[in-house]
Amino acid sequence: MAPSAVPVEAGPTPAAKQAVKTEKTPVQEKTPLQAISQGVCLPGIPIFSSYDKHRAWMLAHMAGAFRVFARKGLTEGMSGHISVRDPENPHTFWTNPLGKHFATLKASDMVLVDYEGKVVGGNTSRPANAAGFLIHSAVHKARPDVTAACHCHGKAGKAWSAFGRKLEMINQDVTYFYGDAQAVYNEFGGVVLEEEEGKRLAAALGPKGKGMILRNHGLLTVGGTVDEAAYLHTLMERSCEIQLMVEAAAANGIPKIYVDDKAAEFTFRMASDPESLYWEFQPDLEYEREISDGAFEK
């Protein structure tokens, strides 16, 4: 669904119309969100007048993301977590309580922990996931630009992770993970219960990573909003499913045709900016709001 970059020429002033044209009129490129919007442009990511309002909005979207994950089959026992950096105290982050089904989560269920794993606020009636804390705290420490991180044990993600390989550029949508935006962590050592493994995992993601395949484990995605990270996770999971389908067909002798680098880079540039990825998640979030009557926002 990547848009084309459509240049917009500035309209000439009356004086300019009368002047002899000696050079081309300056051209201004549309933003990716403007380019995909035919007519009035979709609004940007909301800005809030207080930390409290920002936090309430963020936690509601976080709870909605968990319900989207549940509907898409990304639950596996107590595994899986989302973390979101607090807007007021960026050394702390919100995460889900251990042992509660994604489909039942509400904004008020979330637990606030610091970088050392200490519960410092939110819902204190249940613990957070210790393995999840080590993964997410390492990512948040290494990447100040990361507001949210998502990790789940989805079927397709686990299956493709067995190969320890990046997803290939075999269709338009997977180009959202083009180049340095995709990484692989090839040092699986069991459940992450050691701080050093969390650090190695964050280092593997790198400074530009948006999605990572954890060998023999699952998937991890990050974003500037929980909406971006959540959409990228559902996209990466689906991309693993498509990759497995293509591999099965290729094993029967059907050749693959890859997206060339120039087209992949262009699509990535025009579709993977924070505002576009934020909006990619809104249809799923709105659907969850409709079917639950907004229960997750409480």
- SS3 per residue for 115-127: CCCCEEEECCCCC
Estimate to the nearest angstrom the gap between the alpha carbon of 161 and the chain centroid. 18
Question: Residue 249 belongs to what domain range?
Answer: 47-292
Q: Is residue 66 part of a domain?
A: yes
Report residue 66 as tokens: 């968990």
Burial class (CB within 10 angstroms; exposed 0-12, middle 13-18, buried 19+) of 262: exposed
Cα distance between residue 113 and residue 126, in whole Å: 12
**In the prediction, which pLDDT does 30 show?**
85
Q: Is residue 257 part of a domain?
A: yes
**In the prediction, which pLDDT does 193 show?**
54
**In the prediction, which pLDDT does 16 show?**
42
pTM above 0.85, yes or no: yes
Residues of the chain with pLDDT under 70: 1-28, 189-194
- When divided into structural domains, the chain yields a total of 1
**In the prediction, which pLDDT does 194 show?**
67
Q: Is residue 157 part of a domain?
A: yes
* Residues making up the chain, counted from first to last: 298
Q: Is residue 39 part of a domain?
A: no
Q: Is residue 6 part of a domain?
A: no
**In the prediction, which pLDDT does 10 show?**
40
Q: Is residue 16 part of a domain?
A: no
Task: Give the residue carrying structure tokens 């948040």.
Answer: 140
Q: What is the DSSP string of the chain?
A: -PPP--EEEPPPPHHHHHSPP-SPPPEEEPPHHHHH-SSSPPP-S---SSHHHHHHHHHHHHHHHHHHHHHTT--BTTB-EEEEE-SS-TTEEEEPPTT--GGG--GGG-EEEETTS-EEEE--SSPPPHHHHHHHHHHHHH-TT--EEEEE--HHHHHHHTTT-PPP--STGGGGG-GGGEEEE----SS--SHHHHHHHHHHH-SS-SEEEETTTEEEEEESSHHHHHHHHHHHHHHHHHHHHHHHHHHTTPPP-PPPHHHHHHHHHHH-SHHHHHHHHHHHHHHHHHHHTTGGG-
Cα distance between residue 56 and residue 61, in whole Å: 9
Q: Is residue 84 part of a domain?
A: yes
Where residue 145 sits, what CATH number does that domain have?
Answer: 3.40.225.10
Q: Is residue 238 part of a domain?
A: yes
